[in-house]
């Protein structure tokens, strides 16, 4: 099941509301998201003040653009707000080498007590932050 929530986060079922909030800086605005409930994939686009983003990125580390896995093309191509450069196997395009790419690994704990490691990537542009979990 794929859930699109443009503008605001309204998904509050299956314990995912808190998961998505943990994926965002507190000051994030103009949030667009898509989540595949079957695979756990999450794509976010939002705006964020630079100082808030810097604090959020302390949990992450910078990686080269060739060291990431982009969202599945079939999922990301359905969105008019997701950049084409982030919709293939890896970041592509003439500006790929100049992008600041971050990897964030964190543990997600389900209500059942089971846990899994979530790998997320983040690309910040002048206009938006693009974040995805695989």
pLDDT digits (tens, 9 = 90+) for 30-53: 888 887 777 777 888 999 998 888
CB-based contact 118:133 (threshold 8 Å): yes
Going by the DSSP 8-state scheme, the letter that residue 52 receives in this structure is H
d(CA 33, CA 71): 13
| Partner residues linked to 108 by β-bridges | 116
pLDDT at 17 (0 to 100): 44
Closest to 76 measured CA to CA, from 121, 21, 36: 36
More confident residue, 74 or 113: 113
**Residue 49 in 3-state DSSP?**
coil
Q: Give per-residue pLDDT as tens, 81-102.
A: 888 778 776 677 766 777 788 8
pLDDT at 13 (0 to 100): 39
CB-based contact 26:4 (threshold 8 Å): no
**What pTM did the predictor assign?**
0.75
């Amino acid at each position: 099941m794929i859930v699109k929530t443009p503008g605001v986060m309204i998904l509050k079922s299956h314990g995912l509301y808190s998961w998505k909030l943990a994926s965002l800086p507190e000051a994030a605005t103009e949030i667009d998201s898509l989540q595949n409930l079957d695979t756990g994939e999450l794509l976010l686009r939002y705006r964020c003040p630079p100082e808030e983003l810097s604090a959020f990125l302390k949990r992450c580390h910078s990686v080269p653009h060739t060291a990431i896995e982009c969202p599945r093309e079939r999922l990301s191509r359905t969105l008019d707000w997701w950049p084409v450069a982030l919709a293939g196997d890896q970041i592509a395009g003439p500006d790929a080498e100049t992008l600041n790419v971050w990897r964030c690994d964190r543990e997600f704990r389900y209500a059942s007590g089971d846990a899994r490691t979530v790998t997320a990537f983040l690309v910040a542009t002048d206009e938006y932050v693009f974040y995805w979990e695989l």
